[in-house]
Amino acid sequence: MIPIRDAIPTRRVPVVNYALIALNILVFIAMWLAGSSAESWVYEFAMIPANARDGVSLGDVGDIFTSMFMHAGLAHVAGNMLYLWIFGDNVEDRLGPGAYLGFYLVGGLVASLTHVLLNPASEIPTVGASGAIAAVLGAYLVLYPSSRVQTFVPIGPYFMKLTVLPAAVVLGLWFLLQLFETALALGGPDVAGVAFGAHAGGFVAGMVMALIAQHARPMQRAREW
């Protein structure tokens, strides 16, 4: 399934979400312009789980945050930014700009640490905003479960149909897929080079943080289109 739009307008301009999207795109362009030398950037600034075998240093923590803004290709960054564009603005609207930035970074941190715990010997550099964005999806599921999401749904191997589904269905199925792929990857290499465990960990972290925020400050029912 490919979501393209949700149903809940924001009350204010999501400046932090826009800035995160812009920063991810700018880093991707810089890496693309760097050509073959970008590979050295990956090994310098990406997260490598095996580096933490002797303990987590400040450098390792720094690599977690820099890796969150690096992507492996156009499809990788485009897919991540699509999800962040659709779902991140409403989460920022609910939490507020400052809290949302902290939430995003903590979600990415938890996602990365989940990946390290599941793959402690992996020497494969891990890049991408997927873990932090998974936290955004988990929060959205808690805060707006009945929101309607316009989604392309596969119809056979070659066709897709545009339909409207509840966010609980779109994001719930996404999370179940991450859990399934995580279970397949346990005890072995990452499935297709994707850190599904990080996605699952980030999603759960986002749900927990959203539940805390919701309990601390209940929100009014959101208006939908």
Domain ranges, ordered by start, for the chain: 2-216
The strand order across the sheet containing 159-166 reads: 2-6, 148-155, 159-166
Q: Which of 3-7, 20-24, 60-64, 101-105 has the lowest mean pLDDT?
A: 60-64
pLDDT band of residue 157 (cuts 50, 70, 90) is confident
Per-residue pLDDT for 30 more than 50?
yes
* Share above pLDDT 90 across residues of the chain, in percent, rounded to a whole number: 46
pLDDT band of residue 15 (cuts 50, 70, 90) is very high
Distance CA 195, CA 181 (A): 9
* Predicted pLDDT at 115: 86
Instruction: Give the model confidence (pLDDT) of 204-224 as tens digits.
Output: 999 999 999 887 766 554 454
Closest CA to 63 of 19, 126, 114, 120: 126
pLDDT average, residue stretch 139-144: 94
pLDDT average, residue stretch 139-149: 93
Count Cβ atoms below 10 Å from residue 216 Cβ, excluding itself. Answer: 7
Instruction: Give the model confidence (pLDDT) of 175-187 as tens digits.
Output: 898 888 777 766 5
Amino acid at 104: Y
Question: Was domain 2-216 assigned CATH 1.20.1540.10?
Answer: yes
Distance CA 87, CA 6 (A): 7
Closest CA to 111 of 139, 124, 130: 130
* Predicted pLDDT at 194: 62
Which of 32-44 are b and which e, b meaning 16 or more Cβ less than 10 Å from the residue's Cβ?
Answer: eeeeeeeeebbee
Highest-pLDDT range among 80-84, 118-122, 145-149, 212-216: 80-84
pLDDT band of residue 96 (cuts 50, 70, 90) is very high
* Share above pLDDT 70 across residues of the chain, in percent, rounded to a whole number: 89
Per-residue pLDDT for 152 more than 60?
yes
